[in-house]
């Protein structure tokens, strides 16, 4: 079916894909933008909101080495799945003051990735809490930074008090294959977590 469209496909106004999204959350500097950039087919775009110079001296950069760019607002990337579906990856604003944007971001999302920075695990508590409350399926991806302690997934799970059903995976946000695996893990988890609800 899809192949019939593929010739004329994306250039024609008739072929309008379904836009779906996955949320990439985590603390400030956890590597969300890096992850999005690793798998996106486009250079990540950013919707601008008013927050640039004001961040100096306000954002807590303790423990975040050499982070030269700040996620000003919402960075997002895109993956064309097929002629019918385009997947958008939205990085959440890392700063607490943008908390109000999360509701809108999470609405209708397929699922979420919580990127954990083991140097500052506490920064992703918010995200874990939020997605649990929303009932949005998520996985925790432990971003392995150079110089960070080599924690085991089990230790992170315990530290964050993650239920057994939620996958915790190790990842490297800079590595495309690694990020792809995280997303595959997430979508597999979403499908799995939907199955019981559908059968009974």
Partner 1 sequence: MRGDGAHARPMVGHVPDPPSTVGPRFPEPPTAADEETERFLRPYAVDAGTADRPTDDPVEHEDDLDMLTLLVAARLPGEREVLRPERETILLRAVRARTLAELAAELRLPFSQVRSIVAHMIADGSLQRCGPSRPLERQDILHAVLVGLRSL
Q: Which residues form the interface with partner 1 (CB under 8 A)?
A: 10-11, 13-21, 39, 45-50, 73-74, 76, 79-82, 84-85, 87-88, 90, 104-105, 107-108, 110, 176, 180, 183-184, 187-188, 190-191, 194, 198
- Closest-CA residue to 134 (of 56, 23, 35): 23
Q: Residue 16 or residue 58: which is nearer to partner 1 going by CB?
A: 16
Query: Between β-strands 74-80 and 85-91, what pairing exists: parallel, antiparallel or unpaired?
Result: antiparallel
Q: Residue 157 or residue 189: which is nearer to partner 1 going by CB?
A: 189
Q: Least Å distance between CB 100 and partner 1?
A: 12
Judged by DSSP in three states, 113 sits in: strand
Q: Residue 160 or residue 186: which is nearer to partner 1 going by CB?
A: 186
Length of the chain, please? 200
Neighbours of 29 (CB within 10 A): 27
Structure tokens at 197: 């609800």
Q: Residue 90 or residue 138: which is nearer to partner 1 going by CB?
A: 90
Q: Least Å distance between CB 32 and partner 1?
A: 16
Cα gap 122→120, rounded to integer Å:
5
Q: Least Å distance between CB 46 and partner 1?
A: 6
Structure tokens at 79: 């993956």
Q: Least Å distance between CB 154 and partner 1?
A: 26
């Amino acid at each position: 079916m899809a192949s019939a469209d593929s010739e004329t496909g994306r250039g024609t106004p008739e072929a309008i894909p379904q836009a779906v999204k996955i949320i990439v959350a985590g603390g400030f500097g956890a590597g969300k933008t890096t992850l999005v950039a690793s798998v996106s087919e486009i250079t990540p775009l950013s919707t601008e909101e008013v927050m640039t110079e004001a961040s100096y001296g306000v954002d807590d950069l303790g423990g975040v080495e050499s982070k030269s760019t700040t996620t000003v607002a919402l960075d997002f990337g895109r993956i064309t799945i097929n002629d019918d579906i385009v997947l958008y990856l939205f990085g959440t604003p890392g700063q607490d003051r943008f908390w109000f944007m999360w509701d809108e971001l999470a609405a209708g999302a397929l699922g979420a990735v919580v990127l954990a920075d083991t140097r500052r695990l506490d920064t992703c508590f918010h995200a874990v809490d939020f997605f649990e409350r929303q009932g949005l399926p998520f996985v925790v991806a432990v971003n392995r930074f150079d110089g960070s302690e080599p924690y085991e997934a089990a230790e992170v799970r315990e530290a964050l008090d993650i239920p057994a059903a939620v996958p915790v995976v190790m990842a490297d946000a800079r590595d495309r294959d690694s990020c792809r695996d995280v997303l595959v893990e997430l979508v597999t988890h979403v499908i799995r977590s939907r199955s019981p609800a559908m059968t009974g």
